Structure 1
Amino acid sequence: MLSAGVLAWIGAVFLAAGFVKGVVGMGLPTVAMGLLAVTMAPAQAAALLLIPSLVTNLWQLLTGPSFGGLCKRLWAMMAGVVLGTIAGAGLLTGTHTGLASAGLGVALVVYAVFGLAKAGFTTSARHEALMSPLVGVATGLVTGATGVFVIPAVPYLQSLRLDRENLIQALGLSFTVSTAALAIGLFRTGAFASPTAQLAGSVAALAPALAGMFAGQALRQKMSVEAFRKVFFAGLLALGVYLAAEALL
């Protein structure tokens, strides 16, 4: 049984994580995993975020303008995500999780700095067929090690030069598939010590996550494209610094 203080902390974590996701279209697992690690093991935190992550990502995916087109374009990447995540899910309960999280944080910082400097890269249409499955598998392996779905999926999707709403929807697609694959991987590796209790806790975390996401979405709709770009990369920078510092310290 969790104390009232821990339950309040979990609610606050998912409220904040949902708000970040609503504004920049991502960040719920990263924020939640980083903050929940203060009170619980990474595998337990990952189990707790499954329902909020799945529902908020499905909402983000299904409310966008180009569901069918994005699925057709990104199916090879999604297949790679599933394979990589299930294959690497055991890493989340291993002894090198902290090192993997630190590496992920550094990668986020580097990518955000380049993005804020407008020094991003572009993936041409003729290279997508090769890059998509490779990026998917790499994202899956990182997800298995850290419980975070960001690298290299986000830089790759950004490089496709999608417009703002299509980018948000593509992120929702990638994160939905990653969440489902992580759930399967954790179940296969026996990470659910008490499935019923962990599922109930994950369902309870959904309400604050949704409340935060709706508030964040309302703020995002008022932003210009340039303001959104700056907030997007600033959010990545903050998440990367936090993730690296939390893992190293």
Structure 2
Amino acid sequence: MNTLADFYQNLGLALSLLVIATFILAGLVKGIIGLGLPTVAMGLLGLAMAPSQAAALLIIPATLTNLWQLAFGGHLKGLIKRLWPMLLMIFLGTGVGTLWIGMAGGHWVVQGLGAALLLYALSGLFLPTLHIKPRHEPWLGPVCGVITGAITSATGVFVIPAVPYMQALNLSRDELVQALGLSFTVSTLALAGGLFWRDALGGGELSASLLALIPAVLGMLLGQWLRQRISAILFKRVFFVGLGALGAHLLISG
């Protein structure tokens, strides 16, 4: 697929509108709670297209919005020093997993995506906040990293178990938001490399992904505006309930 027009012509009008609406919603969620763009995008797009195609659309919006999130906070040097073992294993696990497992679009991949979404939603709704002691970080961080990488390579979802792990590190709010941006950036770049190696990320896909950046940024800006005006706790609950329902649907129907 060589051109942007070819890509969206093959998708058709209905799917093109779905892409636009999906990235507005995904950007909105990320703007309010600091994460969720790849999760929402892969979940909704996974209903109508192959996971590899959905992941290709995700590359540029996810990378640039994560870099945007990563750039602010003032804790980058300390976070890299603390989290680099996990980040390294996320990169290696995602890259190797994408080359080895790939995203062939089979039923088990769709069901895996549903299971990851459902698990994340249930953990957000019902599990208490865990606290990890510093002495466990040297081994637990890499373990969480390689598991996150494997799940990312199969589903395009970056959050399990990296997000719960980072939430358990007793980071400040600004540190956590910046750490999420750092982790997601590493995952996205590794996923892009694997997709490119498998010839699933050509010029047409990158152009289409660049166009998807526009609704994603608009949604993120709107989400940041809304975050100052609504309860983030209430929105998180609604978000996790919707995410769980979507995950259950994919798990059952995949």
Length-normalised TM-score, structure 2: 0.88
Paired position in structure 1 for 2:113: 101
Structure 1 segment 1-249 matched on structure 2, within 5 A: 1=9, 2-89=11-98, 90-93=101-104, 95=106, 96-115=108-127, 119-192=128-201, 195-222=202-229, 227-229=231-233, 231-232=235-236, 234-249=238-253
Runs of at least 4 residues of structure 1 off by over 3 A?
227-234
Give ranges in structure 1 of 5+ residues lacking alignment.
Answer: none
1: distance between equivalents of 2:45 and 2:249? 15
SS at match of 1:40: coil
Give the drift of 1:147: 0.4
Aligned length: 241
2: distance between equivalents of 1:51 and 1:21? 15
Give ranges in structure 2 of 5+ residues lacking alignment.
Answer: 1-8
Aligned-residue CA RMSD (Å):
1.7
Give the drift of 1:229: 4.5
SS at match of 1:3: helix
Of the structure 1 ranges 201-210 and 97-106, higher mean CA displacement relative to structure 2 is found in: 97-106
2: distance between equivalents of 1:39 and 1:238? 18
Length-normalised TM-score, structure 1: 0.90
- Over the matched positions of the two proteins, sequence identity in percent amounts to 46
Contact 1:17 1:28 in 2 (8 A): yes
Contact 2:91 2:190 in 1 (8 A): yes
1: distance between equivalents of 2:217 and 2:228? 17
Q: In structure 2, do the counterparts of structure 1 residues 19 and 72 end up closer, same or farther at CA, with 3 Å as the change threshold?
A: same
SS at match of 1:205: helix
Give the drift of 1:100: 1.1
